[in-house]
Amino acid sequence: MNQQGVPPAGILLVEDDPDAVELTLQALRAHRPGSRVQLARDGAEALDFLLCRGSHAQRRGDSDPTVVLLDLKLPRVDGLEVLRQMRNDVRTRATPVVVLTSSRESPDVERSYELGANSYIVKPVNYEKFHAAIGQISQYWLQLNEPRPQHYA
């Protein structure tokens, strides 16, 4: 809970593939039951949510996600541009971003880290490995990691 008693959004999952969305949600429910997950199916929707604009203009910033799981290959606005805009905005500059993608291409990895990604994880093809990876990600970012204090954001 934040100072106003509102629980954080938990996870913002930015993913356009319906199968990957379902697998990720299943894994999150198994490992972090009750965690709040906001879904954005493209980069533009993710930016609207994060920056409280468009259809999310009424959203208060005190329900910001604890971590963003960001695919790179997205419609409308790609993941690298989402990451760039997040790091250029004071409201989202410190929000942890885990790039969760199928791309193993060196330019994608390098550019993600240059733009401020906190982690880069290639989606495992195997269901059990993917399930375990999501569990580890959620445990680290939602349970073990001490988030940056709000007054520093």
Residue 4 confidence (pLDDT): 43
Residue whose C-alpha is closest to residue 61's, from 150, 135, 152: 150
CA distance 89 to 74: 20
pTM: 0.87
Q: Which domains does the chain have, with CATH numbers?
A: 10-152 (3.40.50.2300)
Look at strands 97-101 and 10-14 and give their pairing.
Answer: unpaired
Residue whose C-alpha is closest to residue 79's, from 46, 43, 113: 43
pLDDT band at 149 (very low <50, low <70, confident <90, very high): low
Is the predicted pLDDT of residue 68 greater than 90, yes or no? yes
Question: For residue range 28-56, what is the model confidence (pLDDT) as tens digits?
Answer: 888 877 778 999 999 999 999 999 999 98
Residue 63 confidence (pLDDT): 75
The amino acid that residue 118 corresponds to is: N
